[in-house]
Amino acid sequence: MNVQCVLGFWRNNDICFFGERLKVRGMVIDDRLEARNDRARFVVGCPRPPHTSQQALPLKCVQGKKSRVRSPVSMASKGESGQSIKKDRDYYYSDGSCLIRIENRLLLKIHRSRLEDDSVVFRDMFSLPQPDTGNPQEFDEPIILHDSVRDFRALCWALYARPSEIAAQMPPTDKINMLRIVSIITMAQKYDFEDLRNWAFGVLDAHLRETRILCPDWTVMGRLLEFANANNKKELVIRIEQKWLRNIMTLPHQGNCFVKALDTAEHLNLRHFHGKIYHCYLKALGKFNSSPAKEDSDAPVHIGNAASLIERELICDHLDDTRRLRLYHGFLSLMQLRNNLDKSLPLSDNDHCQKHINCQRGWDIWWSEFLVGMQKAQRGERSCDPDDFFQELEQRIMARPILVPYGTREVYCQALIKAQVCATKKQFDDTLADHFMIPAE
């Protein structure tokens, strides 16, 4: 009997395989690419009906009716009618042992061992017994993989690259092909090439340390961040986020970079990164810079020129109503927080300090002098960004001691004040997304 094979997995009492949805002997085959850890692989034998051509697709039964579905891994010797299948110019080896057809238009002949060595998926697929003979499968006909040509050719490059080509991917170099690296990670993730995946992540991590390396496409950067986050590559996630934020700061009017960052943060539920995107965008537009009120003025402190935020050419063209509201709310909330910082932070109680009131007075004096010094350093301009304020405060508190009023001795609560400033700075960083009304995870 002529049999067409489909690769899949047992999951609980269901059968899961790549891509389509089938019913086999009363069991449902999931339509998602399931994780492969600790799951037994299997082959579903789908008998072909009589007088069916070689290119016929596997069949599924739904309420007694037969219909065609496309399996992501199947066997065929010919292309569909009207399709021209070409041999790959680089990866069709005369001594190759495995025929692979991609997108029904490209034929590759590579060595089976290259696929088996590091891929659990291919290793198990090649070791599966035939349903009728019980012997390991011999793939004389092409294996049809429903991957993009670009992604699979990138995988072949990684499997056959010379040592000099591999070494040339590491910095310092300008020969890095970012799109190819992303394709390698895509294929390594799908077919479980563990060593190859770790190598590609290492290459990306090394290059992201180089700020001069630019990403060719922000959609690609989003895929990189998704892969790094899914593989728990925390340091790589931080570097990708930092690189993205630097580009927003450098090119605020490049709406695509900003919007793609928001799309990615929302899709991956990266709440902290989400808040930083809005904050960096406001900083890049210079919305936190304002002139200070005169010292002898009794006029109330204004939150700033909020109306400037609705300039059409800066915001409305690439933000929907929800995102625009978050931006406005975050701006006003952060401006209000900065105004509240014109008064010193309340000092926590200290039962071990016998003259705690002197520590509070010394802290108030130090705070006033800090505000004056910060304004002078900014040449008379008042930064309304709490982040700039807390960064400067943290640096000054570590470098300049707090003295008792009208004395030269440090206050008893010196260590307590420093710890409190660091804790306040961390609290601001952790709650930045709250200012922009980012939903909690």
Helix axis angle for 149-160 and 194-208, nearest 10°, is 90
Flag residues of the chain having pLDDT under 50.
1-77, 81, 133, 137-139, 291-307, 309-314
- The CA distance from 350 to 29, in Å, is 65
Of 262, 385, 264, 252, nearest in space to 313 by CA: 252
- The CA distance from 224 to 218, in Å, is 10
Flag whether the pTM goes above 0.85: no
- The CA distance from 67 to 269, in Å, is 39
139, amino acid identity: F
Phi, psi (degrees; rounded to nearest 5) at 314: -100, -35
- 155: tokens are 């995988």
pLDDT at 46: 35
pLDDT at 315: 52
pLDDT at 285: 85
What lies within 8 Å, CB to CB, of 419 at 6+ separation is: none
Q: Cα–Cα–Cα angle for 316, 320, 322, nearest 5°?
A: 120
pLDDT at 169: 84
pLDDT at 263: 94
- The CA distance from 360 to 348, in Å, is 9
Residue 93's alpha-carbon distances to 97, 100, 216, in angstroms, are 9, 12, 32
- The CA distance from 224 to 236, in Å, is 9
pLDDT at 219: 84
What lies within 8 Å, CB to CB, of 65 at 6+ separation is: none
Of 333, 288, 291, 287, nearest in space to 310 by CA: 287
Say if CB 72 and CB 53 are below 8 A apart: no
pLDDT at 320: 87
- The CA distance from 138 to 97, in Å, is 10
Beta bridge partners of 5: 45
- The CA distance from 200 to 193, in Å, is 11
